[in-house]
Chain A
Amino acid sequence: NAGVMQNPRHLVRRRGQEARLRCSPMKGHSHVYWYRQLPEEGLKFMVYLQKENIIDESGMPKERFSAEFPKEGPSILRIQQVVRGDSAAYFCASSKQGAGMDTEAFFGQGTRLTVV
């Protein structure tokens, strides 16, 4: 049973380009979460999605960032017109249940985005 798969592992973009980060949840998991880890800071929640629905995007910057989890295929985190401050490690997690005592999150290896 493969774990949470993220790709690419490393991504370099020039300022102003678009970055697309992909996440395939663990088999049987329908809940996906995106987190960002900035240098010297802890992981911060960005967005929570179920199939075809955004449930909570309270941690997502209002501009340039969007996320989707289509009926078929991986979840995508898109960053438009990237700036140097977007350089970070982006982690995806998945769980079998939504919010609750039994909800255990499993994380992918992350995508390390570098904006030059």
Chain B
Amino acid sequence: KQEVTQIPAALSVPEGENLVLNCSFTDSAIYNLQWFRQDPGKGLTSLLLIQSSQREQTSGRLNASLDKSSGRSTLYIAASQPGDSATYLCAVRAGTALIFGKGTTLSVSS
């Protein structure tokens, strides 16, 4: 059974810091991995999609990597800003459903 774990559960950093969020999954047989952002009381915004054949994807200050064989992905956020404060969710697709981690709640202080 696929399980997705995100560490840390919460993270507080000062503005400008570079940071890394971690995601691990137990079954490497996945189609893809998606990183989302969720603001309090809001929906999910798709940040990056990494196909199983890819190693990384970049969008602006975000870079996500995927090591399928070890069951790990990282989301790197460069030069963090207060507007980056949100919960970041990692999800893997092995079939029809996305399997989600519980998220990392990020707080960036100015």
A-contact 0/1 string along B26-62, CB 8 Å cutoff: 0000011010100001111110010111000000000
In the assembly, what is the distance between CA of A93 and CA of B43, in Å? 10
**A65 at interface by CB-CB < 8 Å:** no
Chain B nearest CB from A63 CB (Å) reads: 21
Interface size class of A (residues with CB under 8 A): 20 to 34
Task: Check A105 against B102 for contact (C-beta < 8 Å).
Answer: no
Interface set, chain B 75-106, CB cutoff 8 A to A: 89, 91, 93, 95-103
Chain A nearest CB from B85 CB (Å) reads: 19
B31 touches which of A4, A100, A109 (Cβ 8 Å): A100
Chain B nearest CB from A109 CB (Å) reads: 4
In the assembly, what is the distance between CA of A108 and CA of B93, in Å? 18
Please, which residues of chain A bring their CB within 8 A of the CB of B34? 104-105
Chain A nearest CB from B25 CB (Å) reads: 13
Interface size class of B (residues with CB under 8 A): 20 to 34
B-contact 0/1 string along A49-65, CB 8 Å cutoff: 00000011011000000
Task: Check B96 against A101 for contact (C-beta < 8 Å).
Answer: no
Task: Check A102 against B93 for contact (C-beta < 8 Å).
Answer: no
Q: Which residue of B lies closest to A10 (CB)?
A: B41
Please, which residues of chain B bring their CB within 8 A of the CB of A33? 96-98
B96 touches which of A41, A55, A102 (Cβ 8 Å): A55
Q: Which residue of B lies closest to A40 (CB)?
A: B102
Chain B nearest CB from A92 CB (Å) reads: 9
Task: Check A107 against B43 for contact (C-beta < 8 Å).
Answer: yes
Task: Check B97 against A101 for contact (C-beta < 8 Å).
Answer: no
Please, which residues of chain B bring their CB within 8 A of the CB of A4? 43
Knowing A101-B31, A104-B46 are in contact, say whether A45-B53 is a contact too (CB < 8 A): no
Task: Check A91 against B43 for contact (C-beta < 8 Å).
Answer: yes
Can you offer 7 A-B residue contacts whose CB atoms are under 8 A?
A43-B89, A44-B100, A48-B97, A56-B95, A56-B97, A99-B93, A103-B32
Task: List 3 tightest A-B contacts by C-beta distance, closest first.
Answer: A45-B97, A107-B44, A109-B43
Q: Which residues of B contact A (CB under 8 A)?
A: 4, 31-32, 34, 36, 41-46, 49, 51-53, 89, 91, 93, 95-103
